[in-house]
Chains A and B, each alone.
Chain A
Amino acid sequence: MSENVEVKTLTIDGHEVSARRGQTILEVARENNISIPTLCHLDGLTDVGACRLCLVEIAGVSKLLPSCVTTVYEGMEVHTDSERLQKHRRTILELLFTERNHICSVCVANGHCELQSLAQSQGLTHVRLPYRNPDLSVDASHERFTLDHNRCILCTRCVRVCAEIEGAHVWDVMGRGINSLIISDLHENWGASSCTRCGKCVQVCPTGALFDKSKVGSEHPKYPDFLPYLNLMRESQ
């Protein structure tokens, strides 16, 4: 450990833990086997704090803060699993399910979907809000992959992996709020865009929004864990 590293001590759910300065609560929690649910976070990509599933309570702070972008400080007291947080997380998931058309039974990601798994792990049994059932399109113009806006949760993992790792920045977000949509280039068809066909966006997509055309009928596990290794290899060069 270099001399410049400053050690912070804090408690997470009553456990005393130590961390390096600049680490996020999420990093420290995971180092200490304390689980915090996430959706937009992915090891190897910059965090944007978009999904709000990783919200935590911090003693003395009235607001709930996203643990993926909140750095630790000395004497911090963090709670990750209070009843209030559980309720908020379930509500966030309910809102995600109502916003677009998530039909697990006929989704290519059924059984391999992070949204589906989170709903199960967070005890979401019902959606109390009316479904919006928006009329959204499917972009099947790409030779190998398909984008189904119906299943997109706007986590922007695809946008970040394309810009930060592949360096192509094909994906971006257009519109605002509930009308936001993932677009390729300046809203071209994916097939006509500057896509390099690397497929990283498909592997990091947590749902069935981005999928491989050759995989259908619940046979589409994804392998986003290549990212940290890819970063490590690049750094070592």
Chain B
Amino acid sequence: MSQTIVIDPVTRLEGHGKITIQLNNQGEVEDAHFHVTQVRGFEKFAQGRPFYEMPSLMARICGICPVSHLIASAKACEAIMSVDIPYTAAQLRRMLNLAQMVQSHALSFFYLASPDLLLGMESDPATRHIFGVVGAKPELGRAGIALRRFGQHIIELLGSKRIHPGWVVPGGVTEPLSADKRDETLGMIPEAYANVHLALSEYKKIADNFKTEIDVFANFPTYFMGLINEDESIAFTDGALRLIDAKGNIVDDGITASRFTQVIGEAVESYSYTKFAYYKPLGYPEGCYRVGPLARLNIAKSMGTPLADKELAEFRQLADGPLQGSFHYHHARLIEILYGIERIEQILSDPLILDKHVRATAGVNRLEGAGQAEAPRGTLMHNYKVDSDGKITWANLVIATGQNNKAMDLGVLQAAKHYIKDGRFSEGILNRIEAVVRTFDPCLSCSTHAFGQMPLDISLLSCDGQIIDRVIR
């Protein structure tokens, strides 16, 4: 008898999603999907609001990466204003974005993923969480918490609060950096280095235990997209997007925010509220691609900082050409944390970082604007249209999770086909299928601009939809 396995909601993700796995009469996996189950409608209720409110309004989409929304939104507003922001404001924003990347990656790696990596995919679910990690590996647990605090504290120093700082505004930032805050941040850097080095060395020790997971966790050829600077080094706040194919050939380059909407389309599937982004010239679903840490490291020629460049060289040894296995997202995340700390240190050493001129002003000079930045989990694009008074008439956001959506969907199918045989599955197997999604660190709240709580509900359904068995935790 055919049946459907439902993992609802998927745990240790940011947001609310579920997985369904359809088995055929022989108990083999026929199909599997990752669903995002809620919608919030930010794009609708932004309509009628003044554009200069957009950064703080849109940042409310997410409590993990509000800074990415602040920056993409402010850049879209600056396109409407047609201004270039002051040099120091740009530097400060880069630092804010990197601080957020560090804290978000620390959250993803240590709080959400490390219970699987350090305690094991099959370990007791009752202790498979950050406290379990702290119990088993106290130093690593502490390092994770400290790295998250490092990023969050920089955000607080710059923007007055950790979550939803109102500091980023169209035209720049509201307050310059003080010497005290600069020195306090510099004082935190040595500990942050020590913590990320510890995490990298621990990860490399255990990575070999996950050979099967590396092979079947969304490991297939796709395109990759991410921001790079003019010198082809990795970028988070500036630069333009590059799209490469699975062999590393450049498919499209210099994709600015204003061109983004011309080349990237969004497809809709009936089973998910998150759209599926694709590269228009290749069509859907052939033009689907991955974004985020793995994509960025596959695309950039260098990190542009000495320590991270060494790590990148080692990372590149793992494959000939772009790495295809999504399990490597975890490793890429740690390298990006290292890069973030190095870049923050460099930015703070800039003699102009305390400059008081941090904001440009202008009214409505264009009726449409788009802005893009790299969120921790991948490329983020905000696109607004306004009337002559600057009130939003139309808004569209393309979120990293939407761009990874097809790969997550196919990754769930790949892992389900590998692990589920003869209709039998255990908690550990279902955890592995959830863990496929976790490698991408998706933010489902961002992707549909939705929110929710995350208990786990697994239902075993017969082909006519009757619940045969159900586990809730």
Could you tell me which A residues sit within 8 Å of B by CB distance?
105-106, 108, 137-141, 143, 146, 191, 213-214, 216-219
Contact = CB atoms under 8 A, between A and B. Distances in A.
Interface string B378-395: 000000000001110000
B405 to A, nearest CB: 28
A138 B50 contact: yes
Contact of A216 (B48, B53, B389, B391): B53
Given A105-B164, A108-B53, A219 B389 contact: no
Interface of B: 48-50, 52-53, 55-57, 60, 164, 166-170, 174, 361, 363, 389-391
Question: Mostly helix, strand, loop or mixed at chain A's interface?
Answer: loop
A140 B166 contact: no
A144 B363 CA distance: 9
A47 B57 CA distance: 36
B167 A217 contact: yes
B166 A218 contact: yes
Given A140-B389, A141-B389, A217 B56 contact: yes
A195 to B, nearest CB: 15
The residue among A105, A140, A143, A217 with the most chain B CB atoms within 10 A of its own CB is A217
Contacts of B389: 139-141, 191
A106 B53 contact: yes
Contact of B55 (A108, A137, A213, A217): A217
Nearest to A218: B166
A140 B363 CA distance: 11
A41 to B, nearest CB: 29
A139 B391 CA distance: 9
20 contacts: A105-B164, A106-B53, A106-B60, A137-B48, A138-B48, A138-B50, A139-B389, A140-B389, A140-B391, A143-B363, A191-B389, A213-B363, A216-B169, A217-B55, A217-B166, A217-B167, A217-B168, A218-B166, A219-B169, A219-B174
B56 A216 contact: yes
B60 A105 contact: yes
A108 B52 CA distance: 10
A213 B60 CA distance: 20
Nearest to B159: A217
A210 to B, nearest CB: 13
Contacts of B53: 106, 108, 216
A138 to B, nearest CB: 6
Top 6 A-B pairs, shortest CB-CB distance: A217-B166, A140-B389, A217-B56, A218-B166, A106-B57, A140-B50
Nearest to B57: A106
Contact of A138 (B166, B168, B361, B391): B391
A217 B169 contact: yes
B358 to A, nearest CB: 13
B259 to A, nearest CB: 28
B392 to A, nearest CB: 10
A219 B391 CA distance: 20
B52 A216 contact: yes
Contacts of A143: 363
A219 B55 CA distance: 14
A3 B394 CA distance: 69
A202 to B, nearest CB: 14
Contacts of A137: 48
A217 B175 CA distance: 12
A216 B170 contact: yes
A202 B293 CA distance: 46
Q: Which residue, of B49, B53, B60, has the highest number of chain A Cβ atoms within 10 A?
A: B53
A105 B53 CA distance: 12
A217 B174 contact: yes
A136 B92 CA distance: 37
A94 B132 CA distance: 45
Contacts of A217: 55-56, 166-169, 174
A219 B166 CA distance: 8
A214 B361 contact: yes
A138 B170 CA distance: 19
A191 B50 CA distance: 15
B166 A216 contact: yes
B168 to A, nearest CB: 8
A213 B168 CA distance: 15
A213 B167 CA distance: 15
Contacts of B56: 106, 216-218
A80 B49 CA distance: 40
Contacts of B60: 105-106
Contacts of B49: 138
A74 B166 CA distance: 52
Contacts of A216: 52-53, 55-56, 166, 169-170
User: Which of B164, B166, B390 has the most chain A CB atoms inside 10 A of its CB?
Assistant: B166
A218 B169 CA distance: 11
Given A108-B53, A138-B50, A191-B389, 16 more contacts: A106-B56, A139-B389, A140-B391, A141-B389, A143-B363, A216-B53, A216-B55, A217-B55, A217-B56, A217-B166, A217-B169, A217-B174, A218-B56, A219-B166, A219-B169, A219-B174
